[in-house]
């Protein structure tokens, strides 16, 4: 090799090494920036979210907690009761029975119990779907929950408090898990609030996720989230329900998981209505994404961690319900979009659509507390104030300058900065001689 060639090769090597070092430094700086951004978001979330309530051991009756750490990890040894024989209670009870748990489904109607036990089918809510033959049925509440490890509640939100009052005399150490996705009428209480009020000594969790009951019965792979302060309870629920077709993820953000399940029903109604108007994919995507923004904003204001809304119980459930006719809330919205009144739509559905009440609760709470929830208010105006849907939808498009993700760039900043820029540009146009010429 000549000296010149060697010098060129060395120079090229040096240049490569320097380029590599630069690119590594750039990658590191970009990663640092991203980590910094994430740390900022998490930090803000931690500041805005209310401190989580941990169980206060001194307030918990000893006989109630003593069972929890001893919950059998082997699902075949778990004893469960599921209260509420609608589509979701039945689907969850069936999953647990298939896993070998000793499971009793409590249904208030004696005749329904007889029919289910005879046919191994819930003819009214899940017709055509065979239930596991090991599943037990009862209409006797005390017997159904006696000696159980966990009681799952799958009654509609309007019946939740009364159901807790009914089981209170028979609680001897069972843990509770709410499957209900709604808010109590007129109180804005979530199911976890009601449990804390009615049975403050009981260990509990809430479960929520993209879980259309019919798809679960069809063994379509699905997943959900169990949120609880109690690790043994989270593990027990995972062990009881996890299967090849159903994954159970864990969280300790009870409020966030529960709010995801309750709030998405509002937007499922909006999406069902939008579908009736035959809107385009861009419009659906905008609605869905701004719905997520509303949900997480509302969540932060009421004590949830906004990052929870990125999980299965947030965006996951929003996606499932906002695009499927299997969702009763979506169907209600679709009927409204086709000109039916809310009362007629609810009557025709004949099943639980929690969103109908949740819209009213959230509209009132957001108005009272000044939480910016334009989609919810718009939907409320269409459903309960008889406003024309198209006009309300177009008004939404004029809501001013907002930032995309407010936890990355807060709205005030984006609004103020954008307004200032627009005003400056406007002033420049009016001042410039060319603009006055053009306007003549």
Ligand X SMILES: O=C(CO)COP(=O)(O)O
Q: Which residues are catalytic?
A: 264
Q: Which residue among 89, 173, 205, 260 contacts ligand NAI (CB under 6 A)?
A: 89
Residue nearest ligand NAI, CB atom distance: 86
Q: How many CB atoms lie within 10 A of CB 83?
A: 27
Q: Which residue among 94, 103, 174, 180 contacts ligand NAI (CB under 6 A)?
A: 180
Q: Which 270-329 residues touch ligand NAI, going by CB under 6 A?
A: none
Q: Which 260-299 residues touch ligand X, going by CB under 6 A?
A: 265, 268
Q: Which is nearer to ligand NAI, 179 or 202 (CB)?
A: 179
State yes or no: residue 156 binds ligand NAI (CB under 6 A): yes
Q: How many whole angstroms separate alpha carbon 22 and alpha carbon 16? A: 10
DSSP tag of 243: B
Q: Is 181 annotated as a binding residue?
A: yes
Contacts of 290 (CB under 8 A, 6+ apart): 374, 375
DSSP tag of 244: T
Q: Do residues 295 and 246 make contact, with C-beta atoms less than 8 angstroms apart?
A: no
In 160-244, which ranges are continuous DSSP H helix? 160-167, 191-198, 213-217, 231-241
Rg from Cα positions in the chain = 27
Contacts of 407 (CB under 8 A, 6+ apart): 41, 44, 45, 296, 306
Q: Is 341 annotated as a binding residue?
A: no
State yes or no: residue 356 binds ligand NAI (CB under 6 A): no
Which residues lie across from 277 on neighbouring strands? none
Q: Is 319 annotated as a binding residue?
A: no
Picked from ligand NAI, ligand X, none, the partner binding residue 371 (CB below 5 to 8 A depending on kind) is: none
Q: Which residue among 352, 357, 358, 376 contacts ligand NAI (CB under 6 A)?
A: 352
Q: Which residue among 179, 226, 270, 362 contacts ligand NAI (CB under 6 A)?
A: 179
Q: How many whole angstroms separate alpha carbon 272 and alpha carbon 282? A: 15
State yes or no: residue 314 binds ligand X (CB under 6 A): no
Q: How many CB atoms lie within 10 A of CB 420?
A: 10
Picked from ligand NAI, ligand X, none, the partner binding residue 324 (CB below 5 to 8 A depending on kind) is: none
- Judged by CB under 6 A, the number of residues near ligand NAI is 24
Token pair for 282: 């861009």
Q: Is 432 annotated as a binding residue?
A: no
Binding span for ligand NAI by CB under 6 A among 70-78, 148-156, 275-283, 365-373: 148-156
Which residues lie across from 79 on neighbouring strands? 102
- Tell me which residues touch ligand NAI (CB under 6 A): 84-89, 108, 125, 154-157, 159, 163, 179-182, 211-213, 351-352, 354
Question: Where is the binding site, in residues?
Answer: 87-88, 108, 125, 181, 209, 213, 264, 317, 327-329, 354
Question: Where is the binding site for sn-glycerol 3-phosphate, in residues?
Answer: 181, 209, 264, 317, 327-329
């Amino acid at each position: 090799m000549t000296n010149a060639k060697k010098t060129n090769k060395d120079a090229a090597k040096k240049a490569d090494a320097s380029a590599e070092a630069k690119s590594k430094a750039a990658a590191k700086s970009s990663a640092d920036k991203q980590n910094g951004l994430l740390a900022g978001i998490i930090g803000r979330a931690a500041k805005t979210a209310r401190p989580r309530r941990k169980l206060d051991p001194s307030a918990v009756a000893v006989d109630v907690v003593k069972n929890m750490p001893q919950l059998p990890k082997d699902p075949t040894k778990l004893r469960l009761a599921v209260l509420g024989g609608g589509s979701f209670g039945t689907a969850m009870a069936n999953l647990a029975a298939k896993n070998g748990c000793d499971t009793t489904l409590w249904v208030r109607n004696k005749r329904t119990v007889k029919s289910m036990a005879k046919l191994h089918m819930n003819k009214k809510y899940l017709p055509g779907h065979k239930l596991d033959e090991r599943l037990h049925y009862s209409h006797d509440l005390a017997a159904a929950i006696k000696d159980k490890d966990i009681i799952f509640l799958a009654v509609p939100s309007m019946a939740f408090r009364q159901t807790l009052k009914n089981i209170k005399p028979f609680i001897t150490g069972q843990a509770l898990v709410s499957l209900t996705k709604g808010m109590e009428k007129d109180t804005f209480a979530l199911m976890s609030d009601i449990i804390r009020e009615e049975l403050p000594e009981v260990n509990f969790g809430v479960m929520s996720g993209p879980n259309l009951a019919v798809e679960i019965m069809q063994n379509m792979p699905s997943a959900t989230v169990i949120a609880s302060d109690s690790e043994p309870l989270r593990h027990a629920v995972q062990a009881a329900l996890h299967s090849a077709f159903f994954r159970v993820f864990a969280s300790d953000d009870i409020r966030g998981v529960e709010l995801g399940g309750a709030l998405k029903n509002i937007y499922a109604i909006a999406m069902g209505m939008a579908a009736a108007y035959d809107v385009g994919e861009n419009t659906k995507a905008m609605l869905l994404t701004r719905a997520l923004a509303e949900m997480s904003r509302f969540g932060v204001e009421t004590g949830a961690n906004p990052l929870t809304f990125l999980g299965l119980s947030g965006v996951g459930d929003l996606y499932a319900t906002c695009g499927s006719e299997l969702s009763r809330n979506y169907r209600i919205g679709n009927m409204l979009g086709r000109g039916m009144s809310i009362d007629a739509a609810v009557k025709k559905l004949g099943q639980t659509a929690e969103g109908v009440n949740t819209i009213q609760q959230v509209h009132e709470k957001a108005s009272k507390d000044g939480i910016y929830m334009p989609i919810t208010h718009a939907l409320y105006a269409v459903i309960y104030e008889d406003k024309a849907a198209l006009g309300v939808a177009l008004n939404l498009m004029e809501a001013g300058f907002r930032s995309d993700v407010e936890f990355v760039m807060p709205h005030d900043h984006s609004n103020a900065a954008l307004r200032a820029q627009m005003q400056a540009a406007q002033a420049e146009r009016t001042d410039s001689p060319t603009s006055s010429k053009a306007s003549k």
